[in-house]
Amino acid sequence: MASIRRDIDPHDLEDEDDATEPKSANMAPAKVDIPRIEHAVREILIAVGEDPDREGLIKTPNRVARAYGELMAGLQDDPRRHLKTVFNERYDEVVLLRDIEFHSLCEHHLLPFTGRAHVAYLPDGKVVGLSKLARLVEGFARRPQVQERLTTQIADAIMEELSPIGSACVIEAVHTCMTIRGAKKHGSTMVTSALRGIFKENSASRSEILSLMYSKASSKV
């Protein structure tokens, strides 16, 4: 397998996006039904024995509705759009973007799971701007998810849009539904991987990409 030439901290990225496109940090909120969520949140507050009309809670239903608009922003987005602008580059070495921070919602409990995604591909003529990999992760994360699906959606989107020789996604995340409630296993981290193309078929390539992804082992999930 060709050796890695790019190993980039996403926080160092220059963003070359079109100025009209919403930035990943400020992804346009989803158009959620605000009154309906407000009503539901008010009902939850009553159901748990709270007084939704006390001063501290009076604006809470609206705040929660707006927060869901942000947390679900990916639902009305097609994250694959970020892979449509490609450079036809004669570049045949691995591109790896490591430690892409993300925040998602576990679809079982609607509680956050947060962590880092490591995304790589071995191009076959088509290369995208690195920030697009971060936007891809963000778009798939901002919706009710399970970590396995998030991981495969990212790897599959890269395979389908860029037709590379291989793609890989590894995600390390902490699920608050397991740390703050339920099993209450603080410090447990879920790790998932999706390998496609050469990274799935060739054991040497698979070992190399996984060791590169883990080499800065993310104890910082």
Ligand X SMILES: Nc1nc2c(ncn2[C@@H]2O[C@H](COP(=O)(O)OP(=O)(O)OP(=O)(O)O)[C@@H](O)[C@H]2O)c(=O)[nH]1
User: Which residue numbers belong to the known binding site for Zn(2+)?
Assistant: 106, 109, 177
Verify whether residue 147 is a known catalytic residue.
yes
- The 84-123 contact track toward Zn ion, x by CB under 5 A, reads ----------------------x-xx--------------
Residue 65 · residue 58 · CB < 8 Å: no
Q: CA-to-CA distance for 5 and 47, rounded, in angstroms?
A: 56
Round to whole Å and give the CA distance between 127 and 25.
Answer: 23
When asked if residue 133 is in the footprint of Zn ion (CB under 5 A), the reply is no
Q: Which two tokens stand for residue 215?
A: 């080499």
Reply yes or no on whether 177 is catalytic. yes
Residue 106 interacts with ligand X (CB under 6 A): yes or no? yes
Catalytic (active site) residue 14: no
Query: Which single residue is written with the structure tokens 């790897």?
Result: 155
Q: Among residues 147, 153, 169, 172, which one is catalytic?
A: 147
Under the binding rule (CB under 6 A), the answer on residue 178 touching ligand X is yes
Least distance CB 183 / ligand X (angstroms): 6
Minimum gap (Å) between residue 48 Cβ and Zn ion: 19
| DSSP output for 82-118 | GGSSEEE----S-EEEEEEEEEEEETTT--EEEEEEE
Regarding 148 and contact with ligand X (CB under 6 A), the answer is: yes
Catalytic, out of 89, 108, 160, 201 = 108
Q: Collapsing DSSP states into helix, strand and coil, what is residue 187?
A: coil
Q: Are 195 and 166 in contact (CB under 8 A)?
A: yes
Going residue by residue from 45 to 84, which x/- string records binding to Zn ion, judged by CB under 5 A? Answer: ----------------------------------------
Residues in contact with Zn ion, total (CB under 5 A)?
A: 4
In the structure encoding, which two tokens stand for residue 197, read together? Answer: 């193309």
Binding site for Zn ion (CB under 5 A): 106, 108-109, 177
